[in-house]
Structure 1
Amino acid sequence: MGDLSGEWARRVAEAELGGTLPRRWAHTQGVAERAVEVGQVLGQYAGLLVAAATLHDVGYAPRLATTGFHPLDGARFLRDDHGADERLVRLVANHSFALLEAEERGLREELAREFPLLDEPLLVDSLAYCDMTTTHDGGRTTAEERVAEILVRYGNDSVVGRFIRRAAPEIFGAVGRVEAALAAQPR
């Protein structure tokens, strides 16, 4: 089923993003840091979250970008080249409400068929939380600021702009659910 260690995920992500996309690599490292923090509410799934957070944007690597849709390209790479754990691959494929962007790109049926969404809502929400509370260069932010930044960077009428506007309520809901789970943890 493939490796789920954070160290393996880090090696793979750094090899694919570190040299060619340093800003994307910085974002990835920040997302992984959030995942370590959020892991406390996931119990047995903490390591899976860290691995998925570390690999969620690997599909941006120029050599892997075959469809131009990074969740699908990254998931295929992890499955085909690394034999990665199916749950990990499905998380990467569906991170941050990727089905909505896949729909904008005409790839929804393909993504859903190859990589069905996991039936672990808190895990799925946690990956979205980690991604959407991390700036494009790895710092902390709010989900609202992150969505606004994405809209400015890509433009309202771009594929990503249309997607992020549609996904914003889902993103804010996921972030709220994870924040509530974190707040409920004993200190």
Structure 2
Amino acid sequence: MGEEMAGWARRVAAAELGDALPRRWAHSRGVAARAAEVMRILGEDADLLISAATLHDVGYAPHLAITGFHPLDGARFLRDELGADERLIRLVANHSFALLEAEERGLREELATEFPLLDDPLLVDALVYCDMTTTPDGGRTTAQERVAEIIDRYSADSVVGRFIRRAAPEIFAAVGRVEAALAAQPR
């Protein structure tokens, strides 16, 4: 994996999001920056986290948005068109409790069958932490502020609003677990 995968991920995300969705690309770069900050708790999976953080929103690219559910669309693109690493694809597909949003969209079975959740809780939590502590413009925020921002942007009654309200306790718990792991790890 290594630096080669992270560089590849950056090139792919820049090509897919850079011009088409510059704000989404700024968010993805910010999420990758958070990943670089927390990679010390992951050991050999650090570059995988950075790569997943960089690519987590690639499914928003207009020409990839087949179902309109970006985790599924992004994972299919990475698998079908690029033949990406399976663990990377599964992280992108399941980032930030995507199964709950898939359920809201009637896509849970499809997502769970095609892209099972990785059995690596710290890695999964780390990606949630990175995504949910980064603003849409790539800046830092708290998970509580990020959830509130998402509800404000999409409205509480939208599919995304319903999902994020359901996922909020899980998001906060995942962020707390990563913060505890970071606190326990010497710098």
Q: Shorter-chain-normalised TM-score: which range?
A: over 0.9
Hey, what does 1:182 align to over in structure 2? Answer: 182
* Per-residue deviation, residues 118-157 of structure 1 (Å, max 9, x unmatched): 0000000000000000001100000000000000000000
Supply the AA of the counterpart residue of 1:72. Answer: L
Hey, what does 1:121 align to over in structure 2? Answer: 121
2:67 counterpart of 1:50 = no
Hey, what does 1:83 align to over in structure 2? Answer: 83
Distance 2:113 2:123 in 1: 20
Counterpart contact for 1:4–1:48, Cα < 8 Å: no
Counterpart contact for 1:28–1:138, Cα < 8 Å: yes
Hey, what does 1:59 align to over in structure 2? Answer: 59
Q: How many residues end up aligned between the 2 structures?
A: 186
Tell me the CA shift for residue 104 of structure 1: 0.0
State the SS of the aligned residue for 2:52.
helix
Distance 2:78 2:4 in 1: 11
State the SS of the aligned residue for 1:63.
helix
Distance 1:80 1:10 in 2: 18
Hey, what does 1:95 align to over in structure 2? Answer: 95
Tell me the CA shift for residue 176 of structure 1: 0.1
In structure 1, the gaps of 5 or more residues are none
* Per-residue deviation, residues 71-102 of structure 1 (Å, max 9, x unmatched): 00000000011100000000000000000000
Provide the TM-score with structure 2 as the length reference: 0.98
Distance 1:129 1:155 in 2: 22
| Aligned 1:1-187 pairs, distance under 5 A | 5-187=5-187
Counterpart contact for 1:4–1:51, Cα < 8 Å: no
* Per-residue deviation, residues 148-187 of structure 1 (Å, max 9, x unmatched): 0000000000000000000000000000000000000113
Supply the AA of the counterpart residue of 2:143. Answer: A
Q: 1:4 to 1:158 in 2, by over 3 A?
A: farther
Counterpart contact for 1:32–1:130, Cα < 8 Å: yes
Tell me the CA shift for residue 112 of structure 1: 0.1
* Per-residue deviation, residues 5-34 of structure 1 (Å, max 9, x unmatched): 111000000000000100000000000000
Supply the AA of the counterpart residue of 1:66. Answer: I
In structure 2, the gaps of 5 or more residues are none
Provide the TM-score with structure 1 as the length reference: 0.98
Tell me the CA shift for residue 4 of structure 1: 6.1
Supply the AA of the counterpart residue of 1:158. Answer: S
Runs ≥4 residues deviating over 6 A: none
